[in-house]
Amino acid sequence: MPSFAIPIIYWLELMRRSLIGNVAQVFPTLTRFSNLELLGFLVGLSLLFGVISVFVFRACDRRVRERGLIDRTTNY
């Protein structure tokens, strides 16, 4: 499922478990994972997307500056 690649899914599940405790097992989506596994997925995916975003931003910034669409001095 593509939704499992989004870090917020794991954050929401961890919040649900912390707020309602054992009742969270009623929601069958992520019951097969422990809290530690969910935290690992959350941290890992957040770091992965953070690193990817830095490279994408640098590539886009370089491309815009090469085209002269952003002045290096005034940033307009």
Phi, psi for residue 6 in degrees, rounded to 5: -100, 125
Instruction: State if pTM tops 0.85.
Output: no
Residue with tokens 């969910």: 38
Name the packing angle between helices 7-20 and 35-66 (round to 10°). Answer: 150
Name the amino acid, one letter, at 27: F
Question: Over the chain (76 residues), what is each successive 10-residue block's mean pLDDT?
Answer: 84 90 77 91 95 97 85 64
Q: What pLDDT is attached to residue 3?
A: 79
